[in-house]
Each structure stands twice: as C-alpha cells, then as structure tokens.
Structure 1
Amino acid sequence: MKLLALDTSTEACSVALLNGNELLTLDEVCPQQHSKRVLPMVQQLLTDSGLSLAQLDGLVFGKGPGSFTGVRIGVGVAQGLAFGADLPVYGVSTLAAMAQAAYRQLQASQVLAAIDARMAEIYFGHYQLDANGLMQLQGQEQAVKPDQLAPLDSGKDFTAVGTGWQTYAEVLQQWQSAKSSDILYPSAQDMLPQARQAWDAGHFVAAEQAEPSYVRDTVSWQKLPGR
C-alpha cells in the first residue's frame, strides 16, 4: 500500500508517506507558511521514496477541525494533487490523529484532545482505543467553551493532547487527573492507521468529494459601533 498523508490544519505542517512497511515523515511548526511549505515537503518525500505521485494508491488529508484557512489549504492541496494523478482521497480528523499519536507514543487508551479554537473556545473530542489499536470518537467532536464541557468519568485514566490544554489550563482544572503530554499538534503519520482501515473498507472517495470538518461552521462577528 502506498499512501501520502498531509495536514495543515494547525500551526504545524505535516506530511507522511507510507510505502509498504516504509514510513517517511516531515513535520514543521510554521505558522502562516503552510501554503509555501506543504508542496515542497510532499515533493521531498516522493523524491526520497523514489515514487511519483501517480504510483500512489491514495491521498489522506487532515480534514479539521483547526484553523479555517489551514483546513482549506490542506483540503485544496489534497484535491489538486488527487485530480492531477487521478487518485482517491480520505479525510481524517485532526483530533483523532492527536489521539492516535498518544497511543503510538504513550500507549494511551483514553484521550482528551483539545485544540485552541480562538474566540474563547476549544475543539474537543474524547477518544478511546479499540481492539484494533485505533482511536474511536466517544460522542461528538465539538466547539465549546472550556467551562461548558460536560464532566467525564473521573475514574478513567485520561491523557491530554493538544494546544487547548495549555491555553485554558486553569479552566480545564476539572481534569487535573488527566496526564499531560507533549503532543500539541496533529501529525500526518498518525492519520495513516485510520486511513489504512478506511482503504480496506472501501471508504476512499473521488477528489471532488473531499470535505472539510470545521466543527464550528458559523462565526458571528459583533459589529463595531458606527460600522
């Protein structure tokens, strides 16, 4: 199986290439530079692997949630590459990717993923490891004010991932028992386990069907006086 994954939904820009049992990855924290960096990173991995885009089986992209602009860049780049090489695509949640990283790095089985969503909110998801080693969403991903989150079972051993835990540390004290981690951003390599299962299940779609997941679909702006 040959899959290329990319994500630009947060401050990080990430690309991963799976070629059979070989995995190549590039991760950079480069705020507002994604549109300049992602294609050179893709080309570097293709060159290092000796593959062309047309030799791949499919493309995987981070579908969000995250920065509106970043999510759009990732979806757009994935669509453009897929159209050019006639490849199917599959989108993976950025929250799920961070949860998967917690399993890969820390063997975590219960993960609370929170990305700073600005506007005093976080993108939040609770994930649990299944029997196949994949993180599965419990309930729904949501854009929510941290102090409005419903309490979870305090008896479980949670691991916290994402920038939301740093930005709103005081508000999220209700989960002081959650183990902190160094996982702040999604990495494309952690989208591949879910993508492989999706490939086996026939869930990849044509490029024109690639859709983002903003979670927060509408943003209300308060007009300034006299505007």
Structure 2
Amino acid sequence: MRLVAMDTSSSWLSVAVADDTTVLASLNEQTNLQHGTVLIPRIQQLLSEHSISLDSIEGLVVGMGPGSYTGLRIGVTAAKMWAISKSLPLYEVSSLALMAASISNPKVDAAIIPLMDARRLSAYIGYYHYAQGKLVAVEPDCHQDWQEWVVTHHSVLEQYQTIYLVGEAIEPFADILREQLSQVEIVVQMAYPKTDVALELIQEPVADVHVLAPNYTQVTLAEREWAEKKEQLHDDEMVQTTVQ
C-alpha cells in the first residue's frame, strides 16, 4: 500500500511517501509553525519531484500529537479532508511515538521518553519501550510538570539501566532526571517527529474519519477558545485547499 504520512505537531513539518515498508521520499523542514501555508505545497512538491502521481496514493497517516495546538489542527484537518474527498483509509500515530522510534538499536530493556517542551519545565511526555521488537507505549502520552512526572515515576524508572530522553533543547529536563536517577544511564538524543518511521507504528485505520480529533492532552477551555479564534482563518484556508 502506498501511503503519505504527515506530522505538524511541532515547529518541524515532516512528510513521507512509502510503499509498504519502503520509504520512497521524505521531507523534513523547520517551518516555525507556518504549517498552514506550507503543508499542501510541500506535499505537492514531494510528489512532483519523485514523479509520484496523486492517484497512486492509497492511504494516509497523520501524527495526532500531542504538541502544538495550531499545528495539530492544521495537519489533522488536512489529512481528514484528503481522506474523505478521496475515500482513503486514514491511520493515526502518536507524534511522540514518532520521536521514540527515532532511536536506532536501543539497548535491551531501556526506557524511551520523548519530550516536547511545553514551557516552564512542563512537557508533553511519552513513555515507551520495546517489547518483542515493537515499540510499545507503557502509558498514554500526557502533558505534565516534568519534575512532578519524574517524582511520581521514580520507583519505576530507577529499575532501568538506560533511559533515552528524546527531543529538542531538553538538557534542562535531562538535568532533573539525572539528579533524581543518579544510578541510571541517561542518554539524550535530539529528535522531532519524523514520518519516515510511521509505517512501523500504524495499526488499524480510523473507523470514522469525520469525528477524528487531535490528541491535545491537556488544553484549558480558555486556551482552546483563544486558539480556535486565532486559527479559524487557517482552518478556513485549509478546508478550501486540497492536494491536486
């Protein structure tokens, strides 16, 4: 099956085209959250540059977050519109899982913790490990104060010999983890959600694309109302724009 995968949960835009387990083309670009203006043109560019016809696309994959409220609205809206208009299956993946999957040859029985900075040392946090060769979520992705998360998970985390901390500009988070878990090897790796690993993570297609919503984790009502007003124009533009 030929799939287009996209993620707009961070300041990076990631798009990939793959046949089964073979990545045919990929694009990763720092857009500073300008996904509303670049997502569709970049998909069209990627398909054109690699002579991939739109009609050959048989399904879509979208990063569901958590992450940027603005970015997620744009990416998920675009994927839903495309899937509905072309009657394509749509698969969802965790954006944090995309980051966790970037670890190459992790040590056996290691924990993988992808992070996205949510300001003031709070973060979007994932907790993963590999079981029987597959990346598995130990618990659902969340949004929490990092210090509190480390304290509440201390007894579990101290049992690992190695913990991979994955993300961008996360040294302050790593310092807190090292202070709490001095006997554990903490390996910091720079990463953002890259869709060229998305095929490793997809399961069943979304049953009802129309009701699909991003995983915002914790967003207050005031934050959501403010963001919805601010991003309505972007959504309107996205609704009027399709990949051609």
Where on the TM-score scale, by shorter chain, does this alignment land: which range? 0.7 to 0.9
Q: CA-to-partner distance for each residue in 1:92-117, whole Å, 9 max, x for gaps?
A: 11111111111xx3435530111112
Give the letter for the 1:144 counterpart: Q
Equivalent of 2:187, from 179, 188, 201?
A: 179
The CA distance in 1 between the partners of 2:221 and 2:181, in whole Å, is 28
How many angstroms does 1:168 deviate by?
A: 3.4
Equivalent of 1:154, from 155, 158, 176?
A: 158
Q: CA-to-partner distance for each residue in 1:85-138, whole Å, 9 max, x for gaps?
A: 221211111111111111xx343553011111235411111101122x331110
SS in 2 for 1:97: helix
The CA distance in 1 between the partners of 2:115 and 2:39, in whole Å, is 24
Aligned partner of 2:232 in structure 1 is none
Alignment map for 1:76-225 (pairs within 5 Å): 76-102=77-103, 105-108=104-107, 109-131=110-132, 133-149=133-149, 150=152, 151=154, 152-156=156-160, 157-163=162-168, 165-173=170-178, 174-175=180-181, 177-183=185-191, 185-195=192-202, 198=203, 202-218=204-220
How many angstroms does 1:203 deviate by?
A: 3.2
Change over 3 Å in CA distance of 1:194–1:214 after alignment to 2: same
Give the letter for the 1:189 counterpart: D
Checking the alignment, whether the CA contact within 8 Å between 2:65 and 2:94 is kept in structure 1 is yes
The CA distance in 2 between the partners of 1:85 and 1:53, in whole Å, is 10
How many angstroms does 1:191 deviate by?
A: 1.9
The CA distance in 2 between the partners of 1:50 and 1:6, in whole Å, is 19
The CA distance in 1 between the partners of 2:205 and 2:40, in whole Å, is 25
Counting aligned pairs with the same residue, the percent is 30
The CA distance in 1 between the partners of 2:113 and 2:41, in whole Å, is 33
Change over 3 Å in CA distance of 1:207–1:51 after alignment to 2: farther
The CA distance in 2 between the partners of 1:59 and 1:4, in whole Å, is 5
The CA distance in 2 between the partners of 1:203 and 1:159, in whole Å, is 30
The CA distance in 1 between the partners of 2:53 and 2:209, in whole Å, is 18
Of 68-77 and 84-93, deviating more is 84-93
How many angstroms does 1:175 deviate by?
A: 4.5
Checking the alignment, whether the CA contact within 8 Å between 1:116 and 1:167 is kept in structure 2 is no
The CA distance in 2 between the partners of 1:68 and 1:208, in whole Å, is 19
SS in 1 for 2:60: strand
SS in 2 for 1:4: strand
Aligned length: 212
Aligned partner of 2:14 in structure 1 is 14
The CA distance in 2 between the partners of 1:91 and 1:217, in whole Å, is 20
Change over 3 Å in CA distance of 1:83–1:119 after alignment to 2: farther
Change over 3 Å in CA distance of 1:147–1:16 after alignment to 2: same
The CA distance in 2 between the partners of 1:124 and 1:6, in whole Å, is 20
How many angstroms does 1:34 deviate by?
A: 1.2
The CA distance in 1 between the partners of 2:13 and 2:4, in whole Å, is 14
The CA distance in 1 between the partners of 2:207 and 2:55, in whole Å, is 16
Change over 3 Å in CA distance of 1:59–1:167 after alignment to 2: farther
SS in 1 for 2:17: strand
Change over 3 Å in CA distance of 1:121–1:220 after alignment to 2: farther
